[in-house]
Copies of this chain bind each other. A is one copy, B any other.
Amino acid sequence: MNEQEFLEAYDPRAYPSVAVTVDVVALTIRDDALHLLLIRRGEAPFAGHWALPGGFVRPDEDLSAGARRELAEETGLGGEGLRRVHLEQLGSYGAPDRDPRMRIVSIAHLAFAPDLPDPAAGSDADAAIWLPVTALTSRQLAFDHGRIIDDALERARSKLEYTPLATRFLATEFTISELRAVYETVWGHPLHAGNFHRKVLSVPGFVESTGASTERGGARGGPRARLYRAGDARLLHPALLRPAREETVR
């Protein structure tokens, strides 16, 4: 039996059926607080609970394409806005009992988005909304989505250390202070402005100057700040490490 004959004789239904979904933890920063995109479930199971946007993978769709589609559907975002969103795979969640309906393995994704408009209401039966991460308790979340979100937040905090992805939360042009605010918001921790400034400019390829400055000073005074855009680095060397977290080490 050669490869050709084998494929023709192959019966896909002979193997156990598991459903595969993609879920997306989409993060953005609004009003100096970290928000994530959630959907209020209208149907059982977990009716009335918050859930991550997601759905079944389509037959001819790559996993990342599925995640990007789900994100586009829920945010109502077109191609141009989506291009500025960073999307990466977070991990797979497949405990046998994680969904009471059937065996479902979910490939969770993590997205970093600049401040987006509110999701288009009525585009779907379920209401999608940006919620502050601090406003959530695991009890209000469907399935194992609380755990997925915990993992996503830790991944996000960690990614800011050694990648320039903090810029993905901002417009294409930004000030060092705005960038610092991203780090402070995601890490939940104030940073030393002078040291942050020195560090960001000293890491090769993190940011590049546009030559321009802001039109006005800050809302409460201060000089105009210089504008930067993201540089060409994919990794930060040396990394921008979080202040020591002794408790997490052991």
Shortest Cβ gap from A134 to chain B (Å): 25
Task: Indicate if the CB atoms of B43 and A6 lie closer than 8 Å.
Answer: yes
Interface residues of A in 15-61 (CB under 8 A from B): 15-20, 43-45, 47, 56-61
Closest to A235 in B: B249
What 1/0 flags go to A71-97 for Cβ under 8 Å of B? 000000000000000000101101110
Complex formed: what's the CA distance from A43 to B2 in Å? 9
Interface residues of A in 81-129 (CB under 8 A from B): 89, 91-92, 94-96, 100-103, 105, 107
Name the B residues within 8 Å of A6 (CB-CB). Answer: 43-45
A59-B96 in contact given A44-B3, A250-B205 (Cβ < 8 Å): yes
Complex formed: what's the CA distance from A10 to B208 in Å? 55
Task: Indicate if the CB atoms of A250 and B234 lie closer than 8 Å.
Answer: yes
Q: Is A62 an interface residue (CB 8 A)?
A: yes
Interface of A is mostly: loop
Shortest Cβ gap from A68 to chain B (Å): 14
Complex formed: what's the CA distance from A95 to B64 in Å? 9
Task: Indicate if the CB atoms of A7 and B249 lie closer than 8 Å.
Answer: no
Q: Is A216 an interface residue (CB 8 A)?
A: no
A17-B13 in contact given A96-B60, A205-B250, A249-B204 (Cβ < 8 Å): yes
Q: Is A248 an interface residue (CB 8 A)?
A: yes
Closest to A101 in B: B10
Task: Indicate if the CB atoms of A57 and B249 lie closer than 8 Å.
Answer: no
Q: Is A1 an interface residue (CB 8 A)?
A: yes
Task: Indicate if the CB atoms of A101 and B44 lie closer than 8 Å.
Answer: no
Q: Please name 5 further chain A to chain B contacts, defined as beta carbons within 8 Å, in addition to the given A62-B95, A89-B92, sorted by A numbering.
A: A7-B100, A16-B19, A57-B105, A232-B250, A237-B244
